[in-house]
Structure 1
């Protein structure tokens, strides 16, 4: 019996070097049937800026590579465009700033079979260049995803990058990601939250890890602290978006966030005054707390889907 087709999906937007590293790492996967793989690269740029790069990658790929141009900006639009072209029963997501070791996909597939899971997540290891000195430890942790030391089933979920999904478990097999999160992110949180409510099984596999190499512009507090604020908005936003809305949940998250912002904001101010080395993670926790409290429309920060030159 042949293996089910696995569609590897890499969304990208004007990040040529990262895209090349990510794609090449999928070509080097070991312990899997390469004849059962395909790679879908979706270019979420207004112009088809990645077309030539993908064409060159396809010439050296050990399996079919499909280029999809989705000019309508938005992270959900990009993922859904790739899903519409993907033929696989299983969908593996890799971001265009991630690089997968040779055993990554095999570990995800083994974990899905072992746990009969609908989604498997793996760790992400943030990697900053040696030129980054200020707040280096914090920045690498910020761009990392940590989880349990042992493989097993989860009662929660993580983000879409470095994951394997069973298409049949998705609420919509062709366009599962909500467009309301196109510009702020969290489209994967909405999807996995709905899947959890529907009884989906999530698993964790420590062996299925990837590197993440953020672009230089993101390796600053000017990027990570607003992003921490946006991450903090997630729980209250999810409660508000539930059907029917979970108003008690919203109030609970807002109250928790207000306390968190007050405590860690005060502490961060003190640590800034004394130039404490752990100032950045304390400020991060304050920002996440503030995000839980200020989660609605005017406070939403757009990280995705900007037009060129915007």
Structure 2
């Protein structure tokens, strides 16, 4: 049997309605393709996604490969999906996304044209009602976009909306680091490994997907924790290099201190003035402190058994 060209890997955790929305959009998007397989990795030991997957598979007469990763953790879920992959290309989607056709064809064409190992497509935040006054500050937290046209880029975004060309890549084992199950950053570590092997990065500006944000995440508490975790990433990556990373640790600590000083002051002033723009400075303050206090014991638990 000929292996598929593309595997669409979707980790999910107790979001059957959101997962159904994504699956409907991706089934529409790949209609007529015979070289693509959808893989859903359910990170809920109670198999809460199984009924949704089976119902949509039956309704659209399309096979969906369903697997369970019983141990909670974002890396565990992604690894369970990757264990089923037999294709050259892997498209990662998150269960809170919704693709806008033509999606896969567009991203795949970009990857082939640019010759990139990692190709990122836009994910634009769709915020819940009631958060309009904070939209311009909350939206960047959940959106994953680069400015400008389709091109080769130097930086990476998040896993949701990333197409990986596995042709010349020696995958680490496990692919995503289980040590990052609850704090995240497993995608950054994987992307760094791909780039270290000579893989290049592309940006596909010619399609899009929505990232639907649930109300409990459109809050200042979640904004703080997410930004703090984001700020920890560069210092933690430097620490992972051992002795060779100490100069980078010092650099990022200094940058974090300056960032916290500047944005902490601006946040205080704008809070007194009751300006909504204070949210931007709150996020930057959290990032700065994350660069200083980067060790795992202080990392916010956003995934795994702590996910909502």
User: Fold-level match, TM-score > 0.5?
Assistant: yes
Moved more, 11-20 or 297-306: 297-306
* Distance in 2 of aligned mates of 1:287 and 1:43: 32
1:179 maps to 178
1:20 maps to 20
* Distance in 2 of aligned mates of 1:206 and 1:69: 33
Structure 1 230/173 Cα, relative in aligned 2: closer, same or farther at 3 Å?
closer
Structure 1 35/115 Cα, relative in aligned 2: closer, same or farther at 3 Å?
same
2:69 maps to 70
Moved more, 92-101 or 42-51: 42-51
- SS of 1:67's equivalent? strand
1:106 maps to 105
In 2, are the aligned partners of 1:107 and 1:207 still within 8 Å (CA)? yes
2:196 maps to 197
Report how far residue 167 of structure 1 moved. 2.0
CA RMSD of aligned residues (A): 2.0
1:95 maps to 94
Report how far residue 127 of structure 1 moved. 0.8
* CA offset digits 1:201-227 (Å, max 9, x no partner): 110011132100011110111111111
Q: TM-score, normalised by structure 2?
A: 0.94
Structure 1 154/3 Cα, relative in aligned 2: closer, same or farther at 3 Å?
farther
Report how far residue 130 of structure 1 moved. 2.8
* Distance in 2 of aligned mates of 1:169 and 1:293: 37
* CA offset digits 1:262-296 (Å, max 9, x no partner): 11011101100010120101111111111111101
- SS of 1:262's equivalent? helix
In 2, are the aligned partners of 1:268 and 1:282 still within 8 Å (CA)? yes
1:151 maps to 150
Identify unmatched segments of 5+ residues in structure 1.
Answer: none
2:221 maps to 222
1:285 maps to 284
Report how far residue 245 of structure 1 moved. 4.4
Structure 1 118/171 Cα, relative in aligned 2: closer, same or farther at 3 Å?
same
Moved more, 181-190 or 291-300: 291-300
* Distance in 1 of aligned mates of 2:25 and 2:162: 15
Identify unmatched segments of 5+ residues in structure 2.
Answer: none
Structure 1 251/173 Cα, relative in aligned 2: closer, same or farther at 3 Å?
closer
- SS of 2:202's equivalent? strand
Report how far residue 137 of structure 1 moved. 2.5
Alignment of 1:17-96 (within 5 A): 17-29=17-29, 34-61=33-60, 63-96=62-95
1:213 maps to 212
Report how far residue 138 of structure 1 moved. 1.6
* CA offset digits 1:135-182 (Å, max 9, x no partner): 232222221112031111111211111010012344327731111111
Structure 1 67/174 Cα, relative in aligned 2: closer, same or farther at 3 Å?
farther
1:132 maps to 131
Aligned pairs, how many?
A: 307
Q: TM-score, normalised by structure 1?
A: 0.93
